[in-house]
Amino acid sequence: MTASRPTLAVVAIARNEIRDIAAFIANVDHLADEIIIVDDGSTDGTLEYLQGCGPKVRVLQRRLDPAGGFAAQRNAGSALASADWLLHMDIDERIPPRLAAEISATLPETKLDGFRYRRLNFFLHRPFRAGGWQNWNNVQLGRRGRHRFIGAIHEQVEVYGGPAAVGQLAAEMWHLNDESFLERIGKNVNYAQPTAREIAKRGLVRWWHLLLMPMWRAVKAWTWGGAWRYGEHGLIFALYVFSGTFNGYAVAWDDQNRIARDELERRLSDEGNGI
């Protein structure tokens, strides 16, 4: 007697995704038994669109808490799911036919509790297997009740059975990323504060951190990361890595050394200060 097919929920986090949400729903609809979107206060029509997507789509409106970060958002979505397996995605990801077929063939047969897979990332709408992005190979597919997310920024799945309970899928996910470099810069700004908090946990930021860490990461992305193979495209990526790293350290330095506006006003009004 053939065992029944395990059910699958796609769980995604969202904020102002009107550009991508229709294509995302269309892409996952054929594979998912339920679709759960955890929305962080969208105001661009995303929620209105989701309301017309039918009973398969469920929306949890939950504002992002900086303390819990993205992990808390994804765990909240997991708690809402009733399917046997959960596939955790971003709205700018797409499931290629090969990955869909592999998931469908693997889940009914496995005794494992989680699966890793790789992503083909697109940078400025071009495939980009470089800069460290090509090393992404994370657990994003897990059995319900047997995994959770940890980490406020670059969240990771923890499978309760440990590495022995995790398998590897061969097919890749497509990650479309940003509409433009301007959008990529905006994401960098959003990541700067939580990144700075992580940097500050390691101690005081000094001048050599501000200079050497951005240089090191940019050179690493350009050379060993292979961004040089992509010419101008890769150079833009390496310089983006420099600026993004610098922004995180600069925000951490500012947090540690900030002069409050009230204090500045007091100093300026103090004639004996010599300012």
Phi-psi region of 54 (alpha: psi -120 to 50; beta: other; left: phi over 0): left
The pLDDT of residue 193: 87
The pLDDT of residue 274: 58
∠ at Cα 88 (184, 117), nearest 5°?
85
pLDDT at 109 over 90: yes
Q: How confident is the model at residue 272 (pLDDT cuts 50, 70, 90)?
A: low
Q: Which of 150, 164, 151 is nearest to 113 (CA)?
A: 164
Q: What is the CA radius of gyration of the chain?
A: 22
pLDDT digits (tens, 9 = 90+) for 124-164: 999 999 999 999 999 999 999 999 999 877 789 999 999 99
The pLDDT of residue 3: 55
The pLDDT of residue 273: 58
The pLDDT of residue 1: 35
pLDDT digits (tens, 9 = 90+) for 49-67: 999 999 999 999 999 988 8
Q: How confident is the model at residue 221 (pLDDT cuts 50, 70, 90)?
A: very high
pTM > 0.75: yes or no: yes
The region of weakest confidence among 95-104, 215-224, 256-265 is 256-265
Residue scoring higher pLDDT (153 or 211): 211
Which CATH number, 3.90.550.10, 3.40.50.620, 1.20.1250.20, 3.10.520.10, labels domain 8-175?
3.90.550.10
Q: Which of 80, 136, 84 is nearest to 107 (CA)?
A: 84
Token representation of residue 204: 């005081």
φ, ψ of residue 152 in degrees (nearest 5): -75, -35
The DSSP letter of residue 84 is S
DSSP assignment of 152-214 equals: SSS-EEEETT-GGGEEEEEEEEEE---SSHHHHHHHHHHHHHHHHHHHHTT----HHHHHHHH
CB 179 within 8 A of CB 19: yes
What's the chain's average pLDDT?
A: 94
pLDDT digits (tens, 9 = 90+) for 154-204: 789 999 999 999 999 999 999 999 999 999 999 888 888 888 988 999 999
Token representation of residue 88: 């955790």
Of the chain, the percentage scoring pLDDT greater than 70 comes to 97
In whole angstroms, what is the distance from residue 91 CA to residue 225 CA?
26
Can you give the residue ranges of every domain in the chain?
8-175, 181-257
Residue with tokens 């190979």: 137
